[in-house]
Structure 1
Amino acid sequence: MEAAGTEPRRLSPGLLGRRLLSGGVWVLGGKVFIAASGLLSGALLARLLSPRELGAYFLVYSLVLFGSMLGSLGLQGAATRLVAQSLGLGLYGRARFVVRVALALGTLGALAAAATYLSLGGTLAGLFHTPALAASAGLVAGWIAVSVVQGLLGEIFRGLNEVRLATLLGGQVTGTVTGVLTVGLLVAGLGLLWLLRGEADLATVLALAVCAGASTTLVSGWLLGRRMARLPEGGAGRELPPVFGEVVATAWPLLVTNLVLFTLRNGDLWLLGAFASREEVAVYGAATRLISMVTMPLIVANAILPPVIAGLYAQGRREELERTVRATSAMTGLPALLASAACVLFAAPILGLVYGDYYRAGALALAVLSVGQLVSVWTGSCGLALQMTGHQRTMMAVSLATGAATLAAMFVLVVPYGIAGVVAARVAGLVLQNLLLWLAARYRTGMWTHAGFGALLRSVRGTG
């Protein structure tokens, strides 16, 4: 048990509002930087690599994200929830044990995922008709291993309410392990390549990505050690076994859910990789990368809400939690609507400006996908609410059902209709999934998560 004298930290509404505002500013600034840098890196890659090589890069990147998600074993969400819950209840020793268990399991997962890719690189190269997947197997495996550890460290910082460090160093709550520091290093490297050589091959680009991620991971590990040393003492060694079991029990449904969601988001690219040309993959990949303009507000919300949801729910403050979640959804809904409108009305010019005229062919895909993502933003952080309140199995069940149906539809439509068929199936599946998660969050937690402008006004008055 914890040492006597540790007390839960109860946040007043004003302090909670200021914490959300402060975290939101950091996350928004970081995500704006990452989005702008992502556009810049995409533009540089489109000029350094041929369309065929760029299509191969998009495939590699999606496989790296999948491998890192598989290797993380669902530990990111588990660590965020259990660390934040422990701090909210004043159980500092338990929080320390959660971090140790998560890092130990995450390291094993990273090594296993990297080894798995090394053994399957040749098979994947044949499946996607992309020899580079086998030729660069060592670099891809290294990128996967680094990404697992980097994402886990970032989510531990988020659970510790260190939103600033999670933003700077990375985390996987958004489906990517990319942080501000990693993106900055990668863009700087690509910029130097473009200025000095004007072209590059895929192996050089992958080597830059591995070096950027490894540098960030080393900095993250050092800073986490310093942060953990400042936690108050408490807890006994006998707590370790139950903490281990709780971490595992929380993580495995999240792993299944994350893999299904990731496959749903990237199955379209994989199917096109198997049944279409690398050039078509490049065009579609360029369109999907710009979707971040619509989802960025929700990404910001999902980066600051996990410790808040876990902490308030553990303390039984349900009405306050619902008001906070719905107010945050309202704040994210309006900018997402504007971004979606821009993607619909100016899809071709935006693609041409960022990637070049060759990629304007992805305009229809960008427009339709942006509408589907808008639904995700307006239903709010419903999936996150389920994860952070102990209902991860409900989210897993919904994700499995909708993910399987969506992938089946994409598989049926990819050959006769190509990109258009894949986009239609993906958007329909995305809308269905978010509506079901929205209803499931209400049923399991008693809270609505969609945008609530009345809740936003009350929160603003309370903060003021």
Structure 2
Amino acid sequence: MFSNVFRQSWLALAYRCSGAVVSFLFGVSFARMMNIEEYGALMSLMTFALVASTVGLVGQQFRVLREIPSIAARKNYPEIGAIVAKRLRVACLGSVAVTVIALLPFVAAHGRNGIFGSWQYATSVLLILPLSLIEMQSSLGRTLGSVNLALVSKDVLWRFLIILLGAVLFTTYGHPLPAQDVLLIATAILVVLIAAQNIYLRHLAEGCKVFTMAVRRSNDRLGEVLSTSGPFWVTSVTSIMGGTVDLVVISVMVGPEAAGYYYAASRIALLLDFFLATFCIPAAPLIARLFDENRHAEITRITSGASLGAFVAVLGCVATLALGGDLALMAFGETFTRAYSVLMVLAIGMLVSTYFGIGPIALNMTGHQRAAMHIVVITWVAGILAMIGATWTFGTIGAAVAGSCAGIATRVWTAAYIYSAEGIDITATTALRALVRRTTSRGTSEPHSEAIRPEASGTILDLQPVRGSRDTRT
């Protein structure tokens, strides 16, 4: 089962593991190179910039991911370049506008307490446009079948280079690093990585420029662009805010010190999501192609098998954290063991969410982006409101419970919707039933479908329909 599910994503799994390790080292390293107030401010400001960059993208990264796979299979690079140029132009304009808007909290709160009260922290807004551009490159790389472009720079190299340059500054000057210096380093590194990736994109496209705004004037009206991009936009913004707003809420309501402890616990808990996150790298464009070819049963087998495999892996990780979570937190510092209860709440929430599959991405890749938008907005607005109340009453543990419940509700609702609308089961249920039947009836002959087994030497873009195969809805 693991072989069939991850055959096309083993490289993505290796990069995700590396990225998880680097992300963990990033948190640990700066926890030791900064005082707790600066550390909490840095993590909060980077989260703020990440949310702002997602807003500035206007959903264009998902539009690229949905529109390009079938064209990429035909290797029609001029058409890809024309489509991406339009999407990139919208993303750049949106990111610049959001950068200007993001300065307003610093202007309004100047001189007051909190992360927005210090003008030097406004350097965080410089991250917004580069983060948007590298995310667009990542989406385009996924559609062209490049796991390297999708993951290496933004998941591994970026944080690793920040750690390296930050350590040089810390060693040279011998005093705790200020957050604004780290933010400037992060921005400069992103600019270099974007330029390098643009060269690699042109290589993948056999010399064609596929990441450029050099396109003939478009007749698309702003209203039409926002209408077609709106569901992708709202879903991406709400998802990223739902996954990061807890840190911002705690930083504002409880303080930077509590945010620093919470960040350490959340970084460890998020490591449990890399199993399904890894699968989504090659799976998102693959699902779009299979859906366009009306191969629903294959989508069920692939996604359900991945959910079951990820659930088993996360279950083992949760058991390990229950026994050794204190040791993992102590890597950030001895006082970080205070976040053990928060860590376990977040880890259990991640375990339950994993069972119900890949969530809104499945709806976005199967033409149900408006349903994904409604589900994500409703669950996360309710979750954020509950989080504010729970944080006010119970502190960080309340925020952890509210955030976990919102994440579970999103996954359950999206899984139920796509099953009702298309007969596609993205939860672990179908794969679990098949495994139980195979185990209890071993020795009996059962027909096996080879249509959904990608060849080991192929890529997701090489998967072709099998002659004579007929789709059956699960």
Give the Cα–Cα distance (whole angstroms) in 1 for the partners of residues 217 and 130 of structure 2.
30
2:203 to 206, 226, 232: 226
- 1:287 deviation in Å? 0.9
2:151 to 167, 174, 192: 167
Q: 1:343-397 CA deviation, whole Å, 9 max, x = no partner?
A: 3332222101x20111111110010111111122211113211011111110111
Q: 1:315-361 CA deviation, whole Å, 9 max, x = no partner?
A: 11111222122222223222221122223332222101x20111111
Asked if residue 110 in structure 1 is aligned to residue 95 in structure 2, the reply is yes
The question of whether the paired residues in 2 share the 8 Å contact of 1:375 and 1:434 is answered with no
The question of whether the paired residues in 2 share the 8 Å contact of 1:347 and 1:364 is answered with no
- 1:231 deviation in Å? 6.5
- 1:93 deviation in Å? 4.8
1:70 to 55, 64, 77: 55
Give the Cα–Cα distance (whole angstroms) in 1 for the partners of residues 233 and 124 of structure 2.
21
Q: 1:62-95 CA deviation, whole Å, 9 max, x = no partner?
A: 1011111011111111111111133347765543
> Which residue number corresponds to residue 9 of structure 1?
none
1:179 is paired with a residue of what secondary structure?
A: helix
Map residues 149-160 of structure 1 onto 2, 5 A cutoff. 149-160=133-144
Moved more, 292-301 or 421-430: 421-430
- 1:197 deviation in Å? 3.8
Asked if residue 421 in structure 1 is aligned to residue 398 in structure 2, the reply is yes
Map residues 252-401 of structure 1 onto 2, 5 A cutoff. 252-352=230-330, 354-401=331-378
1:355 partner amino acid: F
Give the Cα–Cα distance (whole angstroms) in 2 for the partners of residues 77 and 453 of structure 1.
30
- 1:35 deviation in Å? 1.0
1:54 to 39, 42, 60: 39
Give the Cα–Cα distance (whole angstroms) in 2 for the partners of residues 119 and 371 of structure 1.
38
Give the Cα–Cα distance (whole angstroms) in 2 for the partners of residues 317 and 280 of structure 1.
48
> Which residue number corresponds to residue 404 of structure 1?
381
Q: 1:5-57 CA deviation, whole Å, 9 max, x = no partner?
A: xxxxxxxxxxx969x624x1221111111111111111110111111111111
The question of whether the paired residues in 2 share the 8 Å contact of 1:312 and 1:318 is answered with yes
2:115 is paired with a residue of what secondary structure?
A: coil
Give the Cα–Cα distance (whole angstroms) in 1 for the partners of residues 406 and 151 of structure 2.
30
Distance 1:133 1:97, change over 3 A: farther
> Which residue number corresponds to residue 15 of structure 2?
30
Give the Cα–Cα distance (whole angstroms) in 2 for the partners of residues 63 and 86 of structure 1.
35
Give the Cα–Cα distance (whole angstroms) in 1 for the partners of residues 191 and 245 of structure 2.
28
Give the Cα–Cα distance (whole angstroms) in 1 for the partners of residues 113 and 426 of structure 2.
39
Moved over 4 A (4+): 88-93, 124-128, 229-233, 237-250, 453-464
> Which residue number corresponds to residue 7 of structure 2?
21
The question of whether the paired residues in 2 share the 8 Å contact of 1:97 and 1:240 is answered with no
2:395 is paired with a residue of what secondary structure?
A: helix
Distance 1:131 1:245, change over 3 A: closer
Distance 1:422 1:459, change over 3 A: farther
The question of whether the paired residues in 2 share the 8 Å contact of 1:293 and 1:336 is answered with no
Moved more, 262-271 or 82-91: 82-91
Give the Cα–Cα distance (whole angstroms) in 1 for the partners of residues 144 and 274 of structure 2.
23
Distance 1:232 1:268, change over 3 A: closer
The question of whether the paired residues in 1 share the 8 Å contact of 2:45 and 2:115 is answered with no
Give the Cα–Cα distance (whole angstroms) in 2 for the partners of residues 340 and 269 of structure 1.
22
Distance 1:246 1:29, change over 3 A: farther
The question of whether the paired residues in 2 share the 8 Å contact of 1:72 and 1:106 is answered with yes
Q: 1:378-424 CA deviation, whole Å, 9 max, x = no partner?
A: 11113211011111110111111111211111122222211122122
Q: 1:278-325 CA deviation, whole Å, 9 max, x = no partner?
A: 211111111111112211101101112111001111111111222122
Moved more, 63-72 or 253-262: 253-262
Distance 1:242 1:415, change over 3 A: closer
Distance 1:327 1:266, change over 3 A: same
The question of whether the paired residues in 2 share the 8 Å contact of 1:351 and 1:359 is answered with yes
Asked if residue 97 in structure 1 is aligned to residue 73 in structure 2, the reply is no
- 1:459 deviation in Å? 7.8
- 1:192 deviation in Å? 2.4
Distance 1:37 1:371, change over 3 A: same
2:235 partner amino acid: T
The question of whether the paired residues in 2 share the 8 Å contact of 1:257 and 1:395 is answered with yes
Moved more, 254-263 or 73-82: 254-263
Aligned residue pair count: 434
Q: With structure 1 as the length reference, what TM-score do the two structures score?
A: 0.86
> Which residue number corresponds to residue 5 of structure 1?
none
Unaligned runs of 5+ in 2: 439-447, 457-474
- 1:249 deviation in Å? 4.6
Distance 1:329 1:242, change over 3 A: farther
Q: With structure 2 as the length reference, what TM-score do the two structures score?
A: 0.84
Unaligned runs of 5+ in 1: 1-15, 170-177
Asked if residue 189 in structure 1 is aligned to residue 174 in structure 2, the reply is no
Sequence identity of aligned pairs in percent? 22
Asked if residue 144 in structure 1 is aligned to residue 128 in structure 2, the reply is yes
Give the Cα–Cα distance (whole angstroms) in 2 for the partners of residues 227 and 90 of structure 1.
10
1:34 partner amino acid: G
- 1:122 deviation in Å? 2.9
> Which residue number corresponds to residue 174 of structure 1?
none
